[in-house]
């Protein structure tokens, strides 16, 4: 009986090894948990175009928008762990939503396997071009003089645009009033019109309006200045020491995917990220190519999850 069980185990392991060695043997899907057109979707399409040739299979992008990324993330978490279904994993999906949403049907830490850190994007603290606020110092002074009178727009509860402001509030010890919108588009329109005071927007969404003279950038949210916004100081430089809030994305697979597949996909993604044209395309979106090992990405996710869990808990934010 023991010999029979051992034979079954050996056979199963051999089959897994053979499957991993022959991977990929069918087309791949990158599930983007947001609508087309945003930075996450753009990054996924840039990757898909460049991964098809070295992998020898077509790579398609499948947009599964809804519930702050949770619909798409759950689809990948429940997919077969055969390396054919990839997730364009984001800050929210991997590090924020687990503490924000009470009834999630997946656990990112348990059900998703980090593969590669693709890109990091700074957010930008912006105001209307004619707003009286000219600097972070002005924001802090006004917020302390009249708590709760400054409003900040976001693309929705739990989004990076929301959480960046919550972290700012906590670290600067100021009171700002949250005005959530259904996406950055309408939020930016109201910011330009002066209906809200300020916003922490992803750089790709902010830069066109900055160039058009409709908005003014007060600060960016990385610890170092983004090359695409070299003249804009960081929040940390502007009086809130240690402040950092970045939007980021990478690739994840369903938990249980054979290690050989994870490592092969990681190598191919790193090779794509090393291509000068890929780095240039990301830079045009206000993003920085990152790369690294699966372990590097997993460690980054753990640090981010710890940080945002504290912010959500301390601010008592609940999305549902």
**Would you say 244 and 236 are in contact if contact means Cβ atoms under 8 Å apart?**
yes
Token output for 33: 């948990």
Tally Cβ neighbours within 10 Å of residue 268: 18
The Cα–Cα gap between 183 and 160 comes to 11
Q: What is the pLDDT of residue 143?
A: 97
Q: What is the pLDDT of residue 9?
A: 47
Task: Kindly list the averaged pLDDT for each block of 10 residues, start to end, along the chain of length 320.
Answer: 49 51 93 87 95 97 90 97 97 93 92 97 96 98 96 88 95 96 89 97 90 97 91 96 96 98 98 97 90 98 96 84
Q: What's the burial of 311, exposed, middle or buried (CB within 10 Å: 0-12/13-18/19+)?
A: buried
> For the whole model, what pTM was predicted?
0.85
The Cα–Cα gap between 299 and 249 comes to 14
- Domains detected in the chain: 2-121+246-315 (3.40.190.150), 122-229 (3.40.190.10)
Run of H or E including 308: helix 294-315
Q: What is the pLDDT of residue 18?
A: 52
Mapped to the 3 state alphabet, what secondary structure does 260-283 carry?
Answer: HHHHHHHHHHHHHHCCHHHHHHHH
**Would you say 72 and 34 are in contact if contact means Cβ atoms under 8 Å apart?**
yes
Q: What is the pLDDT of residue 108?
A: 96
The Cα–Cα gap between 115 and 253 comes to 7
**In 118-255, where does DSSP find H-type helix?**
136-145, 160-172, 184-192, 203-211
Which residue(s) pair with 59 in the sheet?
28
Q: What is the pLDDT of residue 227?
A: 86
Length of the chain: 320
């Amino acid at each position: 009986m023991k010999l029979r069980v051992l034979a079954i185990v050996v056979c199963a392991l051999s089959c897994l090894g053979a499957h991993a060695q022959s991977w990929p043997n069918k087309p791949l899907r990158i599930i983007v948990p947001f609508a087309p057109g945003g930075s996450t979707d753009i990054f996924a399409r840039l990757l898909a175009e460049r991964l098809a040739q070295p992998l020898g299979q077509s790579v398609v992008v499948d947009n599964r928008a809804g519930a702050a990324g949770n619909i798409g993330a759950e689809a990948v978490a429940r997919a077969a762990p055969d390396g054919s279904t990839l997730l364009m994993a984001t800050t929210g999906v991997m590090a924020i939503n687990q503490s924000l949403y009470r009834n999630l049907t997946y656990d990112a830490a348990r059900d998703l396997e980090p593969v590669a850190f693709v890109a990091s994007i700074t957010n930008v603290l912006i105001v209307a071009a004619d707003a009286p606020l000219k600097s972070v110092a002005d924001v802090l002074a006004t917020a302390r003089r009249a708590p709760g009178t400054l409003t900040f727009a976001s693309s929705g509860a739990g989004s990076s645009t929301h959480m960046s402001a919550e972290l700012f509030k906590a670290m600067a010890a100021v009171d700002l009033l949250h005005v959530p919108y259904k996406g950055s588009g309408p939020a930016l329109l109201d910011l330009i019109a002066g209906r809200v005071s300020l916003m922490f927007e992803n750089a790709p969404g902010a830069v066109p309006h900055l160039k058009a003279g409709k908005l003014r950038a007060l600060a960016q949210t990385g610890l170092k200045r983004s090359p695409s916004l070299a003249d804009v100081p960081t929040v940390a430089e502007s009086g809130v020491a240690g402040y950092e809030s970045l939007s980021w994305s990478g690739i994840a697979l369903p938990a249980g995917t054979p290690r050989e597949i994870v490592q092969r996909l990681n190598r191919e993604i790193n090779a794509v990220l090393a291509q000068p044209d890929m780095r240039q395309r990301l830079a045009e979106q206000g993003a920085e190519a990152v790369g690294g090992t699966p372990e590097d990405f997993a460690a980054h996710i753990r640090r981010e999850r710890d940080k945002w869990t504290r912010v959500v808990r301390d601010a008592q934010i609940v999305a549902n």
